[in-house]
Structure 1
Amino acid sequence: MDEWNAVLNMTTPAHHRQIMNFLVDVLMQPPHRGLLMAFRHSGKSTVVGIFAACVLCMHPEYRILILSAESTLASRMVGHIRNILENHPRCADMIPSGRRAWACDRITINRPVGIREPSVICAGIAGNITGSRADLIICDDVEVPNTCNTAQKRENLRERLRELEFILSPTGTMIYIGTPHTTDTIYRTSDGD
């Protein structure tokens, strides 16, 4: 993260280090599930994009699925990751020649042959992800007023998110990033946390 901020001629805020450390802990330690909630405009998505690029740098075989309330928001995250990969000095060898799978909703880096899914793909929460597989699923702002303003919408959202367990690889990681928008937030656990 510090190297990327140096490319941008910026310093790394302390809370960004805390966010990155949390994300790395979730990736490395079972059960590989995490919820990142921080104040608005704290740079959550920025750090998560850097994290995703780092994961691909360390594990080029990984398949990352980005889900957001709307596909346009998910595409912004893919664009952020693509920008890091294109401009970070450590990522130069990861960029494929011709960039045939280098689009606004998916990117495929240089990696081992035989992996069917793109390195990073995104969708809106209502998008068709049937048949997808992922080693890392990032749910970035899936709970927004439009997806949680009624009890039925919240239940539909919870049901849709339960389906992600069938897409995630057995040792995969799932990270939720967001801010609660209702007292009956999807981010609340059964224990009331």
Structure 2
Amino acid sequence: MRKKLLFPLLFVVLLVVPLRLARADLAEVAAWSLLGGAARTLEVHDRKEQYDSILPVFKLEADYQRLLQDVHGVHGLAELGIAFLGGDVEFTRYFESNPSQGFDIFSVHFLYRLALIKEAQLNIAVGYKKFWGDVQNDSLDIGFPLYLFPGKKWTIEARPFFSFINQDNPIVYDLQGGLRYKHKYVGVRGGYRFVHVANHEWHGPQIGLFFEW
């Protein structure tokens, strides 16, 4: 009887213990990656003059977006940060001239900013997003903005965000990508934005100006 019980017990130990250790290893790797990223970010921040656009202390941007024939969009963003910590506030208004109606998006995020290498920055954004037009919804918002710096004055950006509003329409996509050119503290940016909410989509090219320090 003891031998019969011993084999299942031994099997459970051999199966569960490695899984527990694997989870602990993954958690340890993730923790060390975040801590290592923060340390590397501090090093880059201390030598920020070499990298120019990476890890901005303050950023302000305004864009115009052209969608369908009678639909236009305006977008503004303000970001404040120091080394690997930051936050941003963002507002977008889509308006249709015929018939006259609008749709607004507001979001605020906490940013964990990582200097992957001197030519790349990844932000982990967690915050709140609200949509209002004919109906209103608000939700948790998660994003992973990525910035690549192929040259001192140029930036390639990809800014995917995902929101979770309800069970019927679980995921909202807000995807932006584009190219920036900066001269000293000001610049111009152009790109494309795609927003998907429930059965509605807003997408089109956008162009704007920004100030960055």
Task: Work out whether the TM-score is over 0.5.
Answer: no
TM-score band, normalised by shorter chain: under 0.3
Q: Higher RCO, 1 or 2 (CA under 8 Å, sep at least 6)? A: 1
The normalised TM-score by structure 1 is 0.27
Query: Which structure shows the bigger proportion of residues in strand conformation?
Result: 2
The normalised TM-score by structure 2 is 0.26
Query: Which structure shows the bigger proportion of residues in helix conformation?
Result: 1
